[in-house]
Amino acid sequence: MNLILLFKKISSFVRPYRWLVLITLILTLIGSFIAQINAVVLDKTVDAINNLIISKTLVWSTAAKILIIISIVLLGKEILAAFITYAQNFFGEKMRINVSKDLSQAVIDKMLLYRMSFFSKKDNETGKLQTRIDQGVSSLSSTVQNFFIDLLPLFMSSVLALILMFSANIYVGLTALLIVPIYIIITIRQANRLRGWRRNMRSFREQKSHGVMNIIESINVIKSFNREEIESDKQWDLQTQFTDNQMLVRKTSFYFDGLKTFVRQVGTVLIIILTAYLVLIEYPGMTIGKIMYHVMLFSNVTAPITQLQRIFDQMNDALIYAEGFFDILDADGEIEESGKFRPRQIEGNFEICNVDFTYPNGTKALHNIDMKIESGKITALVGLSGAGKSTVLNLLVKFYNPDSGTIKLDGVDLREYDTHFLRENIGMVLQKNHIFDGSIEENIRYGNPNATFEDVVDAAQKAYIYDQIMALPQGFNSKAQLLSGGQQQRIAIARMFLKNPPIIFLDEPTASLDAIATEQIKASIDAIKKNRTVIIISHSISQIIDSDIIYAMKEGRVEQSGDPDSLYKMGGVYKEIVDASARSLNIDKLAHTLDQNGDGVLFD
């Protein structure tokens, strides 16, 4: 990323606000003219008063006239300057804030279009992506302010003051011009020296806030293991490094700031000596007033350059962060492709043929998969953790595309389907990450934004969560994220019921539910499976046994398939899993207990 490219890229974001830029620039231009008025007024006043004194015939009315004119001009100038500064700040800020809003929205809109593989890349992990976006937006919007609002007027004001100095006297002008490059060089050196440390500061700040967040999130673990001291020590190290770095930055800044003030003072002294000398030798055009005039103009020349360092720093930041930001914004290759096929009705028969799949990080998750998934039946995917079960669902919902092989839905290649339409017809209940910040009602309604409140209540009832919601002080308005894991899972199930799709994918839908809730949910799922395609991934033996067809997976391959009984008889992966589940449930003892003391649960 270089400055020209950066300029080009942000120009398109500034274009909608070009009028604001123009107004601000004009105002700033007027402002830089006005800034020179003090010098001119002082020059004229000193000369006028001086003349009065020299003439030895002090006429009070003339003196009063001079003072009244000065007062009017200076006060008038201040009033005008106040309005201009206000308008200039307001319009400048308005533009910056709007550009920042547009940048944030643009990147969000773009990211929503990207395919899943974009988010699984190492560089795009949630936290990293967010940091890149935040830093990008804030540094780019300051760049916009620098490029379009600050930089030009800054130079304008400096150059204008220099021109005035030159036109009053070429030698004084040259002296001022000599100081300027020295001043700029010091400023650039300062920015360069501080660059690395400033970057460190930013990284320390991020680590610090991350550290605090970590402590809050894991406070129960920290306390239960009595690890307060270790956590405190970790933070202490960070604080110490941060403080050292901070001191270095301050020390260097003070040194350079001092140097700059010194150079400026030397310049001022030189100008006073030179102008005084020129006045004494009665150089044409040089009057006493010109001493003050040049001193004030010189301060107008140097003052804006002081800001150059800030701009220089921010430009450097922008060059670093813009790259990361525009990598996200311009990743057009990552936009999810979509076919056009939108049948009137989806039957829900999938056919997976010879499918291989590798995740973007290189993990080969599926090898040569063949499956037939039929509507009206419950298909169970079983296998140990990591066998590739969820990956199969990821491919069926087009989160990823297979490396090779084909997936067909109702005889049509999945790629040809309109992705939006396809997902509209699939309901997924996943293991985690399914509850958004918001009320319970909003969370259920996510399944169908047009649903009535009665529909939401109905869905909650089907998911056996209605009574628990009503028991909460705020009912459906309670915050969903405060619910327990099992309750959240039922909210997700309610959402799926509300969506009412012909195809249903359930990835461990009852993993965090208690036995009673599991039984209730199982009943609900059984009730809706009619004429639908249901794929269930489960470790719950009761759900597996109740399915119509099972695919037993191992290390990314389908090892066995068939109905539960024949698969069990076959032996192998499925039998191993069922036997292990039975042992873990302590089935023998359970049966014994129920047989001896139960009221016939087992056999009714």
User: Which positions lie near ligand ADP, rule CB under 6 A?
Assistant: 120, 359, 361, 363, 365, 383, 385-391
CA triple 501-505-511, angle to 5 deg: 130
C-beta closer to ligand ADP: residue 318 or 387: 387
Provide, rounded to whole angstroms, the least separation between the CB of residue 536 and ligand ADP: 12
DSSP three-state, residue 152: helix
Considering the complex, state which of residue 441 and residue 507 has its C-beta at the smaller distance from ligand ADP: 507
Nearer to ligand ADP (CB atom), residue 57 or residue 361: 361
CB 453 within 8 A of CB 374: no
Q: How far is the CB of 558 from ligand ADP (least distance, A)?
A: 12
Q: Which residue, 21 or 369, is less far from ligand ADP as judged by CB?
A: 369
The smaller minimum CB distance to ligand ADP, of residues 141 and 543, is found at: 543
- Sign of torsion, CA 562 566 572 578? positive
Least Å from the CB of residue 374 to ligand ADP: 21
Measured from the CB atom, the residue of 99 and 382 that comes closer to ligand ADP is 382
Give the 3-state secondary structure of residue 115: coil
For ligand ADP, which is the closer residue by CB, 391 or 510?
A: 391
> What tokens appear for 490 in the block?
């039922």
Contacts of 504 (CB under 8 A, 6+ apart): 426, 427, 428, 429, 496, 525, 528, 529, 532, 533, 534, 535
Q: How far is the CB of 469 from ligand ADP (least distance, A)?
A: 30
Range 61-70, long-range pairs (CB < 8 A, 24+ positions): 70/41, 70/45
How far is residue 123's CA from residue 131's CA, in Å, rounded to a whole number?
A: 11
- Whole-number minimum distance, CB 382 to ligand ADP, in Å? 9
Please identify, using beta-carbon distances, which residue of 361 and 450 lies nearer to ligand ADP: 361
The answer to whether the CB of 355 falls within 8 A of the CB of 414 is: no
Query: Shortest approach of ligand ADP to residue 204 CB, angstroms?
Result: 31
Query: Shortest distance, CB of residue 515 to ligand ADP, whole angstroms?
Result: 23
25/27 Cα distance (integer angstroms): 5
* CA separation for the pair 558, 194 (Å, rounded): 59
**For residue 6, what are its two tokens?**
């950066």
CB of 444 to ligand ADP, least distance (A): 26
DSSP state, residue 599: S
CA–CA distances in Å: residue 574 to residues 186, 391, 556, 567: 75, 19, 15, 7
Compute the Cα dihedral for 528, 531, 533, 538 and give only its sign: positive
* CB 327 to ligand ADP: min, Å: 20
**Which CB atom, from 161 or from 396, has the smaller least distance to ligand ADP?**
396
The H or E element spanning position 357 is: strand 350-358
Residue whose CB is less far from ligand ADP, 120 or 200: 120
The full DSSP string for 41-99 is HHHHHHHHHHHHHHHS---HHHHHHHHHHHHHHHHHHHHHHHHHHHHHHHHHHHHHHHH
Instruction: Find the helix packing angle between 126-144 and 170-217, rounded to 10°.
Output: 160
Shortest CB 487 distance to ligand ADP, Å: 23
**176 versus 387: smaller Cβ distance to ligand ADP:** 387
Query: Could you tell me the smallest distance in angstroms from the CB atom of residue 567 to ligand ADP?
Result: 17
Q: How far apart, in whole angstroms, are the C-alpha atoms of residue 472 and residue 483?
A: 10
Closest approach, Cβ 516 to ligand ADP, in A, equals 26
Closest to ligand ADP by CB, 365 or 525: 365
Burial class (CB in 10 A: 0-12, 13-18, 19+), 250: exposed
Q: Please report how close the Cβ of residue 390 comes to ligand ADP at its closest, in angstroms.
A: 3
CB of 146 to ligand ADP, least distance (A): 40
Q: What are the phi and psi torsion angles at 536 (to 5°)? A: -125, 130
> SS3 helix, strand, coil % of the chain, rounded to 5?
70, 10, 20
What is the bridge-based pairing of β-strands 404-409 and 350-358? antiparallel
Q: Select from 319, 341, 106, 74 the least CA-distant residue to 195.
A: 319
CA 73, CA 34: separation in Å to the nearest integer? 11
| Minimum CB distance to ligand ADP smaller for 387 or for 407 | 387
Q: Which is nearer to ligand ADP, 203 or 363 (CB)?
A: 363
